Chains A and B, each alone.
Chain A
Amino acid sequence: MSTMQCAPKRVNPFTDVLAGTSATWSEQCEMPVVAQFSAKDIEIAAKLGMIDLSWRLRAGCKGPGSAAWLEAAGIPVPGQPNSCIQTQEGAVIARLGRNEFLIEDAADAIMTRRLNETAAPVGAYAVLRQDAELMLTGSHLNHLLLQTCSFDFAGVDHSMMPAIMTTMVGVGITAVVVPAPRKIEGFALRFWFDSSYADYMWSTLCEIAGELDGGPVGIAILN
């Protein structure tokens, strides 16, 4: 018997829709991701950039013991449902309900490892998270949101870091408003959605962003 036990590379949910583009690819956390679409990435991101963050490692947990599980793993727990915390390193802990959490690592992959290494207490269980994730940036961001989403992001108190569950172009998303990457001014929107909608979401947002002088931007801009 010959078995293959070595874990393969993760597949980026946007791989199919990006096939054929002349982007420069890199690899993050065992997943291919576009580092740069063009030399104009920064310019585009300042107007309306779409950055793929799906490569980040994430984990979910649910159940009445889930907050205790996070605490035991040394992960900060957002106090209120539908709120989130972003660590200095860029990790996000979102409380999606009273007893449901999404933990997403920064590039260091510390939090998810800590959670996996900590035994789940009674009443807590892991939830498989395979989300696609995008970050939207730029001065035209609100124009795109007003075309695609019925939620009033302009009315959000960003300092409270709410985790907003709404729909965008007909797809359910969980979104948080965060400070934009340092090369870009203002705020950015990070949102997670079911990766089976990745092609549709990317194509639709690209079309609208294109009309607003925006488009896809590689992750090199985050550095």
Chain B
Amino acid sequence: MSRLAHIPGEWIDRTQEISFTFEGQQHKGFAGDSISAALWARGLRTLGRSFKYHRRRGVLSLANHDVNTLVQAGDRPNVRADIEEIAAGGSYTAVNTHGGVAKDRASLIGFFSRFLPVGFYYKVANSRWLFPFWEALIRNMSGLGVIHFDRPVVKTAKRYAFCDVLVIGGGPSGLAAALSAAEAGASVMLAEENPRLGGSGFYQLGNDPARRAVVKSLVDRVTSHANIEVRLGSYAAAYYADYWVPLVDGNKMIKVRARSVIVAAGAYEQPAVFRNNDLPGVMMGSAAQRLVYRYAVQPAKTMVVLTANDDGYRVALDMIAAGVNLAAIVDLRAQDTDANLLQSLRSQGVECLLSCCVYEAHAGQEGTLSGVTCCPLNADGEPILAQQRFLSCDGLAMSVGWAPALNLLYQAGTSMSFQDSTQQFIPERLPQGVFAAGRVNGLYALDKKIEDGQYAGRQAAAFLSLSAELGHAPAAERFSPSHPWPIISHPSGKNFIDFDEDLQLKDFETAVLEGFDNIELLKRFSTNGMGPSQGKHSNMNALRILARLMGKSPQQVGTTTARPFFHPVPMSILAGRGFSPDRRTPLHARHEALGAVWMAAGVWQRPEYYAKPGKTRTECIAAEVAAVRSGLGLIDVGTLGKLEVRGPDAGEFLERVYTMRYAKLNVGATRYAIMCDESGVVIDDGVVARLTPELFYFTTTTSGAATVYRELSRLNTIWKLNVGLVNVTGARSAVNIAGARCREVLSKLCDLDFSIEGFPYLAVREGLVAGIPARLMRVGFVGEWSYEIHVPAEYGARLWDAIMETEPSIVPFGVEAQRLLRLEKGHVIVGQDTDGLTNPFDIGADWAVKFDKPYFVGKRSLKMITEKPARQRLIGFKLQSGFTGAAPQECHLIIEAGEIIGRITSIGFSAAVGAHIGLAFVPPTHTEPGQILSIRRSDGSVVQAEVVTRPFYDPKDLRQKEESSEAAA
């Protein structure tokens, strides 16, 4: 047991003892203990296994980056033991072990490490024959926690938050920044990833209570300030444009929209690189301090401190205060040491070895740290092996340098420069409204961090016009907090750079030798920084190695791209509560009652067909088609886009938007409309109806309504025509009543003249239908006499009911029946029979392109297209009448001489034709009726089809003529 007596500010509650299990063994800790801290207090040193070689690993950072000590906590995989609080009755198991963490059989892999060189994953993929073997092996061996698919789905609510200034980081500089901005009148949100404020100010003490008192005072002022909202346990996961920062806590994501952001995120302590620097017992100096001050746990009985900055000396003082026997302090530097700190340690009898390194760490029988070999460094910084010295210890604290947490600043678009004096990148040019404070600015002394935080707070306040006073930024540090080369080579390797992926120094040297000499390439090839800690402990050393190998400066090497999220975010939080709007027409409940089987049409729900007991889908659709052809059908077309254009220039506007002419369209008439984009590609179609000289009402495709409205609004902003646009898609309900007897039904509901003279084909009329003000258009999309009736949405259901009550035999039909009916007429559906390259000529709509107009969108491109050979044409085809077996499907390919020459866009069985019919794109050489096409089905078999003329049904449009209609009726 290594629990210390009460430490001021400790995070544990000694009044609450908590029982839990780790690897099946019962343990006890206190409320507030992290899993790692509780186990360390119990004397356990091997807390996890490394990813690749399954080496023993213990506490490294205790700062949410110990990815070798991930545990399975019940049904939660990959829980970070270094920060996760123990729960009463909690059951934890180390992930990625074969036989348990103590005796992991997979550790044998370490003996074969020479056969697993850098880039191993890519190299095995080169052997076609061996790849299946390696794939199976790697899949079996790799992976971390276990996902429980039966875990209950928890909808984690996302929420928004707003503030004037968001301060990221609750350490000394963040606290000072928040206070400074708040005192200027700003509303401040302070986000701190730990459960308590204070950051390093409460554990990097050097056994100096005065330092703690300074930070305590800041915390007290912040927590009592009315303008400051503190969000603990929340990390800023990313930075997006316009001061948009997602904060992630244990349960949810908070989307913070600030007016200014201050990044005071601190720095990650970096490991020294020497042989066996991963043994349990070797840890960051700050991790040792966290153990002491947060959890009151003694890190080791006897420790060596390896350092290259003043922080290491404070670690040593803190360890002595915690009762640790300090074997020695090993300083990589020969000078620049704070004389007071040095004297303080020497006066306590601590041996201080300057210009000295740890060459190698040694494991005892338990596989944990038992001692280190130290060597003096020569003038070139190389260890003098002849002067090796063994120091017995069970703990080694590394404090050789820092890497600033610049991720968010990079994402904000900050340009950085490498500062030699501090051996780190610092912001050179910050985006407007974004400020940095503390260690990210290269300032490490407590007073400088606070001063810099105050300066950042004032800058933010000035940016928000709350204050004019700026003051001055603090002076730079005198001594570098980071060593430029804390890396010691060793012939036997196992000197780890990246603990996530078990990458050693030689792996980087080999990668560079193999040509991966760019920082981004090196990352991908070696997988450095691609583990769960995302390179927070390895990127800086990797950069130094590459710089040295390439003879470049760190500035020249640069950093990898910092992308959101900079820290892994649980999928459940990313998913959150889903907002997926779906639209329903006013007839939804009617369809539901009739047995509608739903399909998504953009964001709308539409009946695909109406299910009937004892009938298959195909039979139901066929029955609906038959009803329209031989009787009466009714379909909900309320999902069509419905727009109005009004004003003296409305006709001119539509002339420019569509390929056909509308300026002289008669009032009371409608006309088909094709819309192209600037490249001449068909993007939408519909029907334009002229209701008055200055009012056109027109429809668009279901999925095109919003896009078309936006685009037309944009175009008129440019054209400045005297028109107004209104989108009434949701405000109007619409149905199509189709079949020879539709006039008979409507005549019972409406006073309009439905004679062919009074209401001819393609006419539009306004009147009352069942007392409802309606717009009626005579259309022929499904190939029968039919009317589209558009009414205000609040009367849509009344209209449907009135029609159904007037003619109970009418058959509602769904989208699939409508598709087949229009296919029989050879009509095109934009988006199904066209794609992102289809022009009007491809689909045989040459007649709809009026080049004699001065202008329309896409005219210039279409003109150019006419001057080039045609690429494809949409043709009609049919299979042999007696065809049996699986019919080809949409998107099946048309093959000739082994080459793809076309594809099917629509196909279905037509009872009216007595065969499968369809539309397909083919080369212009294959459009003659009678030509035979070979269609390849999914199973590779080929079906023959014959090119035929369109339409397949009623080619002379007799169904739109009175005699024929009456005969059918």
Chain A residues in the interface with B (C-beta under 8 A): 1-13, 15-16, 19, 31, 62-63, 99, 123, 125, 127-131, 146-150, 152, 154-155, 169-171, 194-200, 204, 208, 211
Q: Which residues of B contact A149 (CB under 8 A)?
A: 160
A200 touches B589 (CB 8 A): no
Report the minimal beta-carbon distance from B177 to chain A, rounded to whole angstroms: 22
Q: What chain A residues lie within 8 Å of B792 (beta carbons)? A: 128, 130
Among the listed A3, A62, A170, A208, which residue makes an inter-chain contact with B726, where contact means beta carbons less than 8 Å apart? A62
Interface hit among B15-23, B796-804, B900-908: B796-804
- A8 & B771 in contact (Cβ 8 Å cutoff): yes
Candidates A3, A6, A127, A152; contact of B748 at CB < 8 Å: A3
Q: Are B732 and A128 in contact (CB under 8 A)?
A: yes
Residues B724 and A15 in contact, CB atoms below 8 Å apart: no
When chains A and B are docked, how far (Å) is the Cα of A148 from the Cα of B160? 8
Q: Is there an interface contact between B798 and A11, defined as CB atoms closer than 8 Å?
A: yes
A19: nearest chain-B partner, CB-CB:
B589
Task: Indicate if the CB atoms of B726 and A127 lie closer than 8 Å.
Answer: yes
Interface flags for B728-743 (1: CB within 8 Å of A; 0: not) read 1111100000000000
Contact with A along B589-601 (1 / 0, CB 8 A): 1000000000000
For residue B751, CB closer than 8 A to chain A, the reply is yes
**Are A8 and B772 in contact, CB atoms less than 8 angstroms apart?**
yes
Q: How far is the CA of A100 from the CA of B807 in the complex (A)?
A: 42
Stretch binding the partner chain, chosen from B427-435, B580-588, B851-859, B961-969? B580-588
Show 19 residue pairs from A and B whose CB-CB distance is below 8 angstroms, ordered by the A residue.
A3-B749, A3-B751, A5-B771, A8-B772, A9-B798, A11-B795, A15-B589, A62-B646, A123-B647, A127-B728, A150-B255, A150-B257, A152-B160, A154-B162, A195-B586, A195-B793, A196-B586, A196-B793, A198-B584
List B contacts of A196 (CB < 8 A).
Answer: 583-586, 604, 729-730, 793
Residue of B with least CB distance to A169: B579
* B708 CB-CB contact with A under 8 Å: no
Q: In the bound complex, how far is the Cα of B726 from the Cα of A131, in angstroms?
A: 14
State in angstroms the CA–CA spacing of A126 and B732 once bound together.
14
Residue with the highest number of chain B CB atoms closer than 10 Å, among A15, A16, A169: A16
Contact status of A200 and B798, CB under 8 A, knowing A6-B771, A146-B160, A152-B162? no
In the complex, A211→B157 CA distance in Å? 10
**Cα A4 to Cα B795 with chains together (Å):** 14
With beta carbons under 8 angstroms apart, the residue of A3, A11, A204 that contacts B579 is: A204
**A12 to chain B: which residues have CB within 8 Å?**
794
Distance in angstroms between the alpha carbons of A62 and B724 in the assembled complex = 8
Q: How far is the CB of B666 from chain A (nearest CB, A)?
A: 21
Distance between Cα atoms of A196 and B796 in the complex (Å): 12
Taking CB atoms, residues of chain A closer than 8 Å to B589 are 15-16, 19
A188 to B869, CA, bound (A): 64
- Taking beta carbons and an 8 Å cutoff, which residues of B are in contact with A? 157-162, 255, 257, 577, 579-586, 588-589, 604, 646-647, 695, 724, 726, 728-732, 747-751, 768, 770-772, 792-798, 802
Given A63-B724, A155-B162, verify A130-B794 contact (CB < 8 Å): yes
A contact residues around B728 at 8 Å (CB)? 127-128
Q: Which residues of A contact B580 (CB under 8 A)?
A: 170
Contacts of B730 in A (CB 8 A): 130, 194-197
Chain B neighbourhood of A6, CB < 8 A: 771
What is the CA–CA distance of A196 and B729 in the complex, to the nearest angstrom? Answer: 9
Among A1, A11, A150, A154, contact of B747 (Cβ-Cβ < 8 Å): A1
Q: What is the chain B residue whose CB lies nearest that of A2?
A: B748
Once bound together, how far apart are the Cα atoms of A102 and B583, in whole Å? 23
Residue in contact with B771 in the complex, picked from A7, A16, A63, A130, CB distance below 8 Å = A7
The reply to whether A11 and B157 form a contact with Cβ atoms under 8 Å apart is no
The residue of chain A having its C-beta at the shortest distance from the C-beta of B746 within the complex is A3
Instruction: Assess the B770–A8 pair: CB atoms within 8 A.
Output: yes
In the bound complex, residues from chain B placing their C-beta under 8 Å from that of A1 are: 747-748, 751
Most buried by A among B158, B586, B750: B586
> Do A197 and B581 have beta carbons less than 8 Å apart?
yes
Q: How far is the CA of A9 from the CA of B797 in the complex (A)?
A: 10
The smallest C-beta distance from A150 to any residue of chain B, in angstroms, reads 5
What does DSSP make chain A's interface, helix, strand, loop or mixed? loop
Tally A-B pairs: CB < 8 A: 127
For B798, list chain A residues within 8 Å (CB).
8-9, 11
Binding site secondary structure of chain B: mixed
Note all chain B residues with C-beta closer than 8 A to A128: 726, 728, 731-732, 792
Residues of A with C-beta under 8 A to B579: 148, 169-170, 204
Q: How far is the CB of B965 from chain A (nearest CB, A)?
A: 19
* Contact yes or no, A130 B157, CB < 8 A: no
Which 5 A-B residue pairings sit nearest by Cβ, starting from the closest?
A: A194-B730, A130-B731, A152-B162, A196-B583, A130-B793
Please measure, in the bound complex, the distance between the C-alpha atom of A3 and the C-alpha atom of B747, giving whole angstroms. Answer: 7
Contact of A8 with B795 in the complex, beta carbons under 8 Å:
yes
Q: Which residue of A lies closest to B802 (CB)?
A: A4
Q: Closest Cβ of chain A: how far from B576's Cβ, in Å? A: 10
Residues of B contacting A5 in the complex (Cβ-Cβ under 8 angstroms): 751, 768, 771
Best-surrounded residue of A5, A31, A131 (most CB of chain B within 10 A): A5
Closest-by-CB residue of B relative to A15 is B589
Instruction: Give CA–CA (A192, B415) in the complex, Å.
Output: 45
B residues within 8 A CB of A199?
582, 584, 588
* Distance in angstroms between the alpha carbons of A200 and B157 in the assembled complex: 17
Q: How far is the CA of A200 from the CA of B605 in the complex (A)?
A: 12
B588 — which chain A residues lie within 8 A by C-beta? Answer: 16, 199
Extra contacts, 18 of them, besides A10-B795, A146-B160 (Cβ < 8 A), are A1-B748, A5-B768, A7-B771, A8-B798, A10-B794, A11-B798, A13-B586, A62-B724, A125-B695, A129-B731, A130-B793, A146-B159, A147-B157, A150-B160, A155-B162, A195-B731, A196-B585, A204-B579
User: Which of B257, B584, B589, B792 has most A Cβ within 10 Å?
Assistant: B584
In whole angstroms, how far apart are the Cα atoms of A80 and B387 in the complex? 84
What is the bound-complex CA distance between A208 and B732, given in angstroms? 30
Query: Is the beta-carbon distance between A170 and B771 smaller than 8 angstroms?
Result: no
CA distance A65 to B363 in the complex (A): 87
Chain A residues within an 8 Å CB radius of B748: 1-3
Q: For B749, give its contact among A4, A194, A208 (CB under 8 Å).
A: A4
Q: Chain A's nearest CB lies how many Å from the CB of B138?
A: 41
Which of chain B's residues have a CB closer than 8 A to the CB of A123? 647
Contact in complex: A11, B771 (CB < 8 Å) = no
- List the A side residues contacting B732 at CB < 8 Å: 128, 130
**CB closest residue in chain B, given A1:** B747
Interface centre among A127, A195, A198 (most CB of B within 10 A): A195
CB-based contact B795/A152 at 8 Å? no
Contacts of B749 in A (CB 8 A): 3-4
Which residue of B has the minimal Cβ distance to A127? B726
* A200 to B584 CA separation, bound complex (whole angstroms): 9
Compute how far the CA of A211 lies from the CA of B581 in the bound complex, rounded to whole angstroms.
Answer: 20
B724 touches A125 (CB 8 A): yes
* Pairwise interchain contact A11-B161, C-beta atoms closer than 8 A: no
A154: chain B residues at CB < 8 Å are: 162
User: What is the distance, in angstroms, from A76's C-beta to the closest C-beta of chain B?
Assistant: 23
Min CB distance A142 to B, Å, is 10
Q: How far is the CA of A199 from the CA of B585 in the complex (A)?
A: 10
Docked complex Cα distance between A197 and B792 (Å): 16
The distance in angstroms between the C-alpha atoms of A1 and B580, with both chains bound, is 47
For residue A100, which residue of chain B has the nearest CB? B724
The residues of B that contact A148 with a CB separation of less than 8 Å are 579
Given contacts A63-B646, A130-B732, A208-B157, contact A7 B586 (CB under 8 A): no
- Contact between chains at A4 and B770 (CB < 8 Å): yes
Residue of B nearest to A6 (CB): B771
Within the complex, what minimum Cβ distance (angstroms) separates B173 from chain A?
27
| A63-B768 contact given A169-B579, A194-B730, CB 8 Å threshold | no
Complex alpha-carbon distance, A204 and B802, angstroms: 32
On whether the beta carbons of A200 and B583 are closer than 8 Å, the reply is yes
A194 to chain B, nearest CB (A): 4
Residue of A nearest to B164 (CB): A155
Nearest Cβ distance between residue A211 and chain B, in whole angstroms? 7
C-alpha spacing A11/B589, complex, angstroms? 12
Identify the closest chain A residue to B692 (Cβ).
Answer: A125
* Minimum Cβ distance to chain B for residue A31 (Å): 7
Q: Please, how many angstroms separate the alpha-carbon atoms of A195 and B729 in the complex? A: 10
